[in-house]
Amino acid sequence: MQWIGALLFVITSTWVGFEWSSRLSNRPKQIRQLKNALQILEAEILYSQLPLNEAFLVIAKQTPQPISKFFDTLYYELEQDKRDLFSVWEQSVNGLMKYSSLGSNEQEIIKQFGRTLGQHDFHQQQKHIQLTLSHLERELEEARDHHLKYGKMAKSLGVLCGLFVVLLLL
């Protein structure tokens, strides 16, 4: 019976390590997807000159999860509530953080961008998008470094911690 418990503990700790590693590898992917979405937003604002809520719907259709869910939520909240953009944006960013691997730095960058969204003319808006993209590029490099440094370690640490605790208890 002890062996079954020990095996379950090692399996659980291994799973936690792999989950941690998965979050580390998903973060750069999701930052790239977010950058792509902002580039689409820039194109929709400057060239199509769509209203923001319609631009959000276009982005939601062109990006993968979880970024598409973020922009889809923005579209539906703006269509139904008619609240101001910043409060809807902030609520959607908080929701995005719950179901994505993005970190607190990305959250702050996205929230700062939301404060300027829809407040300026086309050229100023383009400058804000470019500034946000440069901040996200910096975070992307950091996320890649984190993944390279800690990705394999997280998997190994999960297995080894489980084995260590089992050996201590037996």
Task: Work out the pLDDT band at 138, boundaries 50, 70, 90.
Answer: very high
- Residue-level pLDDT at 15: 92
Question: Residues 38-54: pLDDT tens digits?
Answer: 899 888 888 888 788 78
pTM for the model stands at: 0.82
Domain assignments of the chain as residue spans, ordered by start: 2-169
Burial (CB < 10 A; 0-12, 13-18, 19+), residue 126, is middle
Task: Work out the pLDDT band at 35, boundaries 50, 70, 90.
Answer: very high
- Residue-level pLDDT at 22: 82
- Residue-level pLDDT at 135: 92
Question: Residues 40-94: pLDDT tens digits?
Answer: 988 888 888 878 878 888 898 999 988 989 888 888 888 887 677 788 888 888 8
Question: Residues 91-134: pLDDT tens digits?
Answer: 888 888 888 888 888 889 998 988 888 777 778 888 888 899 99
